[in-house]
Amino acid sequence: MDHSNYTVEPMISAKSIAARCEALAAEISDYFHDTDKLIVVGLLRGSFVFIADLARELSLPCEVDFLETSSYGNNTESSREVRILKDLRGEIEGRDVLVIEDIVDTGHTLHHVKALLQSRNPARLKVCALLDKPSRREVDISADWTGFEIPDEFVVGYGIDYAQRNRNLDHIGKVVFK
């Protein structure tokens, strides 16, 4: 694949993301204040940077686990077929669970993941998404906490990729094809 056919224009700065992570963590810590240990479930791979920053800001005990799904491959459009590539290591029955998602787009992945995790009987199941694109929603679902609502743009950075590139950017950028 030719990666010289696009540029990345800054959209959300690293400073804005850091401030939003701090605010989200405060709200989440307040909501789960009575938990003995929160299980933070990161949806790989796009959420890995967000989950690291958010988890460090939480003021309560937490355990981190990961679930890897695939619905994009190397494309810019979701296939709407959600596959579980890596399941959780730990049990969540009777536990408080916070799912961390990089971006809620069509909603298919989050809908599938929530149904899967809900079937395992957690005490509480909530979702925090870094980005939300409500204009693209095809499934009636939303995150309980959202970092930023964005327009229908293809974005990269801060863990989010295009064909496995640009995850290492410290900000969110809009992909502009030449």
Q: Give the integer Cα–Cα distance in Å for 130 and 7.
A: 22
Q: 3 in helix, strand or coil?
A: helix
Which tokens is 175 given? 């992909």
Task: Give the whole-angstrom CA distance, residue 31 versus residue 26.
Answer: 9
Question: Cα separation of 164 and 20, whole Å?
Answer: 25
- The residues facing 100 across adjacent strands are 42, 128
Three-class SS of residue 23?
A: helix
Q: Please say if 105 is a catalytic residue.
A: yes
Catalytic pick among 105, 140, 144, 170 = 105
Residues assigned a catalytic role? 105
